[in-house]
Amino acid sequence: MERNISDLVKQMNIVSEEHEQVLRELKNMQSVVKYISHLLDAYNIVSGRVDELQEEIKELKRGRTNKADTQTADTKTHRVEKTVMPNMRIIMGIKK
């Protein structure tokens, strides 16, 4: 009888260790999924911004004059400097 109990305790310990390992792996997988999600968010933001800039370039080419410094009425200055990409902070590990 004691042998059966001892065997059961050993088996329970083994199962407990395996369970803890599975939980650690699950947490790692969740971290990877979260990281990929942040990357996709950042990609979507950058991709959208690229599309906007391509449209602005097309508009500028249509309204181009001989003077390089001339701005069209709808053109904003310092577009790129003021662009905010919130998820890039998260991905790059930059603290506010």
- In three-state form (DSSP H/G/I as H, E/B as E, the rest C), the secondary structure along 33-84 is HHHHHHHHHHHHHHHHHHHHHHHHHHHHHHCCCCCCCCCCCCCCCCCCCCCC
Both tokens assigned to 86: 């919130």
Structure tokens at 22: 């599975």
Report residue 71: phi and psi, to 5°: -105, 145
Residue range(s) defining the domain that contains residue 67: 2-92
Give me the number of domains the chain comprises: 1
Tens digit of pLDDT per residue, the chain (96 long)? 778 899 999 999 999 999 999 999 999 999 999 999 999 999 999 999 999 999 999 999 988 754 555 555 555 544 444 455 555 555 555 555
Q: Is the pTM above the cut of 0.75?
A: no
Residue 65 backbone phi and psi in degrees, to 5: -115, 180
